[in-house]
């Protein structure tokens, strides 16, 4: 399927976006690298066989308006709320990578009634968001590469522990895979497209069935990996494979 590219006015700005497919809407949010745009999601457009994909260029990126200063994640989330209203979308699932994950989290925290579920791919976060995430209560799939050099796996465990209704999936190392063109930022939707696609498809088909809060007896075990921050090949990696 080929995406259709459009523009829509949102306040004083213009948002460029691509859409493809039909069904329940899935909003795709890219990261913060200078040349990022909606096109980073093209390797996962097979998801359009069961839902409508909507992939905007965030403010300051791609063909969207470029203010003198790129808006922060809070302003981007407010823009997305207005954007969704402008295109007639009342409730969405969100799939986001890198800094786009931070934007998606803020969107879900501020407008939980408009969010079905989240898929966070090597997601960034703001430390101010972490205590607020305890109240998120949205099914969330968190995907990381074992060896990501930008948003490290430690962030995946922090997000998992902060969001009770979440599931963490750790993919094999990217840097040690000779078949991949390794870059400093692991764009997993490109380098691990089949795995990310399979995980996202299964999760989005029935989000509530794939996540559950840890039993009380396991509370003391949650976050154990974070106590080993200085061990590059220690508990974090071992726990991720169990």
Q: How many alpha carbons lie under 13 Å from residue 220 in its C-beta half-sphere?
A: 1
Which residues, other chains included, contact 139 with Cβ-Cβ below 8 Å and sequence gap of 6+?
A: 116, 117, 118, 165, 166, 203, 207, 208, 210, 211
Q: What is the pLDDT of residue 174?
A: 79
Q: What is the pLDDT of residue 161?
A: 94
Dist CA 2 CA 176 (whole Å): 33
pTM of the model: 0.85
Q: What is the pLDDT of residue 73?
A: 97
Q: What is the pLDDT of residue 12?
A: 94
Domain 4-240 has CATH 3.40.50.1820: yes
Domain residue ranges in the chain = 4-240
- Could you tell me the mean pLDDT of each successive run of 10 residues in the chain, 242 residues long? 93 97 97 92 96 97 95 97 96 96 98 97 94 94 86 91 94 73 67 93 93 50 44 41 42
Query: Is the C-alpha dihedral spanning 228, 229, 233, 236 positive or negative?
Result: positive
Which residues, other chains included, contact 122 with Cβ-Cβ below 8 Å and sequence gap of 6+?
A: 97, 98, 101, 143, 144, 145, 148, 150, 151, 156, 186, 188
Decide: 105 and 125 in contact? Cβ < 8 Å.
yes
First to last CA, the chain: 38
Dist CA 175 CA 86 (whole Å): 41
Decide: 120 and 93 in contact? Cβ < 8 Å.
no
């Amino acid at each position: 399927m080929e995406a259709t590219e459009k523009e829509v006015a949102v306040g004083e700005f213009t948002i460029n976006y691509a859409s493809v497919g039909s069904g329940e809407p899935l909003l795709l949010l890219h990261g913060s690298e200078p040349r990022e745009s909606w096109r980073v999601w093209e390797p996962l457009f097979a998801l359009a066989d069961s839902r409508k994909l909507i992939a905007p260029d965030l403010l300051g990126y791609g063909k969207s308006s470029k203010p003198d200063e790129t808006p922060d994640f809070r302003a981007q989330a407010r823009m997305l709320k207005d954007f969704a209203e402008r295109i007639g979308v009342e409730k969405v699932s969100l799939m986001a990578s890198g800094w786009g994950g931070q934007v998606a989290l803020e969107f879900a925290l501020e407008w939980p009634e408009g969010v079905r579920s989240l898929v966070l791919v090597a997601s960034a976060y703001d430390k101010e968001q972490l205590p607020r995430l305890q109240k998120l209560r949205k099914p969330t799939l968190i995907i990381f590469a074992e060896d990501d050099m930008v948003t490290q796996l430690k962030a995946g465990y922090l997000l998992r522990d902060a969001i009770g209704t979440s599931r963490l999936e750790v993919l094999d190392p990217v840097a040690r895979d000779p078949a991949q063109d390794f870059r400093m930022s692991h764009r997993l939707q490109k380098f691990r497209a089949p795995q990310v696609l399979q995980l996202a498809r299964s999760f989005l088909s029935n989000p509530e069935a794939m996540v559950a809060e840890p039993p009380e007896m396991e509370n003391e075990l949650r976050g154990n990996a974070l106590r080993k921050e200085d061990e590059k090949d220690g508990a974090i990696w071992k726990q991720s494979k169990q």
